[in-house]
Amino acid sequence: MRWFLYRLYRERRRFALVAFLTFLGGWLAFRGSALTLFDMPVEIVAAFAFMVVLTGALFAVVLIFPQLRSHAETIALSIPVLSLAGAFDPQLDGWASFLIFVFGLIFIYPAGMIYGGPTLDSFVPRRNRSYRSTSTSSLTPEDLWPYFCVTPNSRPEFRMVNTISLEWLEPGRRIREVAHAGEGKTIEEIQTILLQEPPSLFQFHFQSVHAPDAPGHRGVYTHRLTRTDKGTAVETIRQYDTDSWRTALFTWVDDAFGRSDDAKLKAIEARERARRS
């Protein structure tokens, strides 16, 4: 139940964005109408109807099929665009409305691909960006510390679930990590420990070996573990020297790093339960 509530919490920004876009779409679809419904302008009633029905439907899909969640805002964006194009105009005959709907989707699809893909990154300025995420665990900071702080005697495999290998270049200070990067690719990083205050603070600098100047391939990670009445609050700050606005927007809407932290803590808790049983 706790992890399901976390899933709902991680969707909060997507929910707000989808609700706004569908509300706007309903209002635009009936804008300028002189009709009233329930003693209210019909465009307001339509806006709330679009928001309730479409947001509810999209979020049912998101919760059932989480791998499709990034498409929810693209679909929601199509509603106001199609409304502006007149796809929902009751005065149009069926074929005209259908053609507007089809050509509207043809226009929207490239916009969704740009939003969801890296194509635009090569044409827009990049700058340093910082992402802050928080999560909680029922474990104590002492229990979690070995999974966040890399030492020759720690359990480093949970620092990054895609880790293939770790090699100490300078024991206690610098390591080389090789990890899966998706689609059969790997990434190799040099990580230098900057701060280490057990069991509450761990900070390190990372840099890609093969693409040091690529977006998101150089920066600083900071992990803060704070004791609470129910366990530990884990705060992670990720600072990247270069990152694009598209990546920043997608990461913010998706709360991607918070999801990653939740998955990591869930795996750690399962590992600790198995180890103690």
Which tens digits make up the pLDDT trace of 5-38?
A: 777 888 889 999 999 999 998 888 877 777 777 7
Evaluate if residue 219 carries a pLDDT over 70: yes
* Domain-embedded: residue 123: no
* Domain-embedded: residue 124: no
Evaluate if residue 194 carries a pLDDT over 70: yes
255 shares a domain with 206: yes
* Model confidence band, residue 65 (pLDDT cutoffs 50, 70, 90): confident
Average pLDDT, the chain: 80
**More confident of the two residues 126 and 49:** 49
* Domain-embedded: residue 125: no
* Domain-embedded: residue 212: yes
* Domain-embedded: residue 242: yes
141 shares a domain with 232: yes
135 shares a domain with 47: no
141 shares a domain with 269: yes
pLDDT at residue 150, as a whole number: 76
How far is 252 from 236, CA to CA, in rounded Å?
A: 14
Residues β-bridged to residue 165? 178
164 shares a domain with 65: no
| pLDDT tens-place string over residues 105-162 | 655 555 555 455 566 666 667 778 899 999 999 999 999 988 888 776 665 555 555 6
243 shares a domain with 138: yes
pLDDT at residue 222, as a whole number: 96
pLDDT at residue 69, as a whole number: 82
How far is 47 from 49, CA to CA, in rounded Å?
A: 5
136 shares a domain with 111: no
* Domain-embedded: residue 60: yes
Once rounded to an integer, what is the mean pLDDT over residues 57-80?
83
Domain extent, residue 269, equals: 130-276
Over pLDDT 90: what percentage of the chain? Answer: 25
88 shares a domain with 143: no
151 shares a domain with 34: no
Domain final residue pick, 116, 147, 163? 116
Domain final residue pick, 87, 116, 145? 116
From the list 14, 126, 119, the residue with the least C-alpha distance to 77 is 14
How far is 224 from 134, CA to CA, in rounded Å?
A: 9
Domain final residue pick, 116, 139, 166? 116
List, edge to edge, every strand of the sheet that includes 185-197.
126-137, 231-244, 218-228, 201-208, 185-197, 174-182, 163-170
Evaluate if residue 272 carries a pLDDT over 60: yes
Q: Look at the chain and report how many structural domains it folds into.
A: 2
Evaluate if residue 52 carries a pLDDT over 90: yes
Contact 242, 219 (CB under 8 A): no
Write down the H helix ranges in the chain. Answer: 2-10, 12-29, 42-64, 72-85, 94-116, 141-148, 245-254, 256-276
State both tokens at 29: 């679809």
176 shares a domain with 84: no
Once rounded to an integer, what is the mean pLDDT over residues 217-226?
93
96 shares a domain with 24: yes
pLDDT at residue 108, as a whole number: 58
